[in-house]
Amino acid sequence: MLSVGLIAFAAFTLVTVAAMKEGPPTDTDQKTSGAGGFRLILQADIPLGGDLGSEKGREILGVQPAKSELWDRVKFMSMRSWAGQDISCLNLTRPSTPTVLAVPHAMVERGGFTSGKENLLARLEQPISNNEVPVMTDTETATYILKLGVGDTMPITDQRGTPRKLKLVGTLDHSIFQSEMLMGEGNFRELFPAQSGFGTVLLEVSAADEEAVRKALLGNLGDYSVTVDRTADRLASYAQVKNTYLSTFQTLGSLGLMLGTIGLAVVLLRNLVERRAELALLSALGWSSAGRVAVVLWENSLLLLVGLGVGTGCALVAISPSLVGGGRGVNLGALAATLGGVLVVGLGGLAAAVWLGQRRVSAADLRAE
């Protein structure tokens, strides 16, 4: 029971860790996804003085042509920004002054970024009370980077030098806003009145027009030092950090499980020493050496097989809701290779232990029996 239990726990851990890994998102075109249905995100080091969503704004920015069928098929959501620190897992230091994005009323009315019925973005338009400004950010950023829960606050100083508190009124799961905090545009203007132009633009575009729009914006807005990225790539870059940690844990867990199976072989060797008389009696009754080895090896291999089977089966049951409803996947090939490697190492260790133990069976053991 102890051997089976330890192996099962280790196998359970390996499978569940493998299920926590995130692959490239495939739902960024859906409004309820972490990308809110926006396939592209534009960020400008020099704020854009015009709104890309209007023909006049494109003329101000020097976009040629300012009017075309391509732009008519794209929906732009321009957001003002106040440059602070990156608050995502890509920042090696703990941020104290976050980057803030202003959420326009049109974006609040549009909603999205959550599969729930409530429009969470509407909370951002709550008025400032007691110098507490409503903000939102990504769930993982709030939990692991900022160490904030809903209702908690963090200090900030506005452009007038007035101390304020950013109050977290909600979080978004697996969103593209892991590097920034979101604030209602009205409150943003009150805190940062001198901040002009748009630093971030979200683009709702079809898959067919995606590359053409990206190239057109990069070619026309080079003077503003813009980057135009796919939101799927941005989400994948965030997930890569977590996947790296999980891969490390999985590798260490695999090595630990292999060492555990070798430990099982050591226990078997001790057990064989204690069973020398029994094995000698089997020899006297006509059992061949190969037969004795097969019996002992099968007895102990069964412990390894049952442990791996129980642990893997329980883990698959435990993670099935996440696999079905969470859009996650498991690299079954890599996981099978890991468990297969553990099985091979374990069986090899058991076979070596049986071979060594059999060499100690003698007639004296039979006389003792």
pLDDT given at position 365: 66
**Residues 175 and 212 occupy one common structural domain:** yes
Q: Estimate the crossing angle of helix 2-20 against helix 289-325, to 10 degrees.
A: 40
**Residues 359 and 318 occupy one common structural domain:** yes
Q: Does some domain include residue 243? A: no
Q: What tokens appear for 353 in the block?
A: 């232990």
Residue 272 scores a pLDDT above 90: no
Residue 327 scores a pLDDT above 60: no
Of 221, 218, 219, 240, the residue nearest 229 (C-alpha): 218
More confident residue, 112 or 334: 112
Q: Does some domain include residue 28? A: no
**Residues 202 and 335 occupy one common structural domain:** no
Q: Over the stretch 346-361, which tens digit does the pLDDT of each residue have?
A: 888 888 877 776 665 6
Q: Does some domain include residue 32? A: no
Q: What's at 368, amino acid-wise?
A: A
**Residues 108 and 190 occupy one common structural domain:** yes
Q: What tokens appear for 258 in the block?
A: 């292999």
Torsion over CA of 251, 255, 257 and 261, rounded to 10 degrees? 160
**Residues 258 and 189 occupy one common structural domain:** no
- Cβ count near 83 (within 10 Å): 12
**Residues 230 and 268 occupy one common structural domain:** no
Domain containing 131: what range? Answer: 40-237
pLDDT given at position 21: 78
**Residues 230 and 316 occupy one common structural domain:** no
**Residues 180 and 107 occupy one common structural domain:** yes
Q: Does some domain include residue 161? A: yes
Q: Does some domain include residue 148? A: yes
Q: Over the stretch 139-182, which tens digit does the pLDDT of each residue have?
A: 999 999 999 999 999 999 999 999 999 999 999 998 999 999 99
Could you say which of 237, 268, 299 is where a domain stops? Answer: 237
Could you say which of 214, 237, 260 is where a domain stops? Answer: 237
Could you say which of 178, 213, 237 is where a domain stops? Answer: 237
**Residues 232 and 286 occupy one common structural domain:** no
Q: Does some domain include residue 350? A: yes
CA-CA-CA-CA torsion sign (8, 11, 17, 21): negative
Provide the percentage of residues in the chain whose pLDDT is more than 90: 54
Let me know how long the chain is. Answer: 369
**Residues 105 and 164 occupy one common structural domain:** yes
DSSP string spanning 329-369?
---HHHHHHHHHHHHHHHHHHHHHHHHHHHTT--HHHHHH-
Q: Does some domain include residue 242? A: no
Q: What is the number of structural domains in the chain?
A: 2
Record the pTM: 0.77
**Residues 173 and 95 occupy one common structural domain:** yes
Q: Does some domain include residue 35? A: no
**Residues 217 and 100 occupy one common structural domain:** yes
